Structure 1
Amino acid sequence: MPTILAEAAHDGNWLLLAAVLASLAVFSVCAVILTVTDLREHRLPNRWTGALAAGGAVTLGLACLVNDAGWSRFWSMLGGGVAYLGLILLLHLISRTGMGLGDVKLAGGLGLYAGWLGWDHLFGAIVLGFVAGGVVALALVLTRRATGSTHLPFGPAMLLGTAAALLF
């Protein structure tokens, strides 16, 4: 997104700049609240996963209206949301004790953001989320703060992976 923000400012497309900044604000607020909640309570409240998805759909949808690549970004955004949600839903169905429904709902919203930038960013968000989750799990096991059967919140890793994909 930094490239898009820079191009929008350079071109004087203040509407695109405002819409993208608004989407990042929504993402940031929801990400902090969801991360803290998932770490404390091992749950991702519908209120905040919904706010993330709705806020992203509205702000990035508006950005599509004022962007030269609007329709391709719009379809990529929708496809990203469906693809990420579908992947995590599949993992939830395969392993009932692994991914929770909060993770599934979170994935839909995160897919909108990463998908808006393109399929490569979506792929990066997914991979980085799993890598972040794996590194944290490995560190906790190596320091004996967790075992192989410990349930760890995955939402923060998903949010971190998507945030990293949005920055690069």
Structure 2
Amino acid sequence: MPSVLAETVREGNWLLLAAVVAALAVFVVCGTALAVTDVREHRLPNLWTGRLAAGGAVALGLGCLASDVGWTRFWGMAGGGAAYLALMLVLHLLSRTGMGMGDVKLGGALGLYAGWLGWDHLAGAVVLGFVAGGVLALVLVVVRRATPSSHLPFGPAMLLGTALALLA
């Protein structure tokens, strides 16, 4: 996103800039609410996941209209949302006690954001999310705040991975 923001300022594409800033604001507000709730309650409320997805789709969709590569971004956004959602759904079905449906729906919302930037950002978001989750789990086991069989919230790791991919 930083490169997109810099490019829009350089080109004077203020509509695209406004759309990207709005999308990032939605990401920060909804992502914060989701992360806090998941850590406290081990759930990702549909209300916040829906706001993240809808807000991102609207803002980034407007960004597609204002971009020279609008259709590429649109199909990346749609495909990214579907791909991340499908991946998380498969993981949910394979491990009934691991991934919840909240993680699946969050994957769809996060895929919109990462996919809008391109497939490489989407892959980065997924990989970084799993790395962040693994590192967090390892640290908690080492400091004896969790055991290898503990159920840890995965939403914050997914959000962190996507945030890092958006910054790349």
Per the shorter chain, which TM-score range? over 0.9
Q: Distance in 1 between the 2:8 and 2:44 partners?
A: 34
Q: Which aligned pairs between 1:24-39 and structure 2 lie closer than 5 A?
A: 24-39=24-39
Q: Does 1:107 align with 2:107?
A: yes
Q: Deviations over 1:15-63 (max 9, x none)?
A: 0000000000000000110000000000000000000000000000000
Structure 1: which 5+ runs fail to align?
none
Q: Which residue of 2 aligns with 1:95?
A: 95
Q: Does 1:155 align with 2:133?
A: no
Q: Distance in 1 between the 2:63 and 2:110 partners?
A: 17
Q: Which aligned pairs between 1:39-78 and structure 2 lie closer than 5 A?
A: 39-78=39-78
Instruction: Give, in angstroms, the shift of residue 143 of structure 1.
Output: 1.1
Q: Distance in 2 between the 1:83 and 1:22 partners?
A: 24
User: Identity over the aligned pairs, expressed in percent?
Assistant: 75
Q: Distance in 2 between the 1:141 and 1:3 partners?
A: 37
Q: Deviations over 1:71-126 (max 9, x none)?
A: 01000100000000000000000000000000000000000000000000000000
Q: Runs of at least 4 residues of structure 1 off by over 3 A?
A: none
Tell me the SS of whatever aligns to 1:99: coil
Instruction: Give, in angstroms, the shift of residue 142 of structure 1.
Output: 1.0
Tell me the SS of whatever aligns to 1:159: helix
Q: Distance in 2 between the 1:109 and 1:144 partners?
A: 33
Q: Across the two proteins, how many residue pairs are aligned to each other?
A: 168
Tell me the SS of whatever aligns to 2:98: coil
Q: Distance in 2 between the 1:95 and 1:132 partners?
A: 19
Q: Distance in 2 between the 1:83 and 1:142 partners?
A: 33
The one-letter amino acid paired with 1:52 is L
Q: Distance in 2 between the 1:139 and 1:12 partners?
A: 45
Q: Distance in 2 between the 1:148 and 1:91 partners?
A: 19
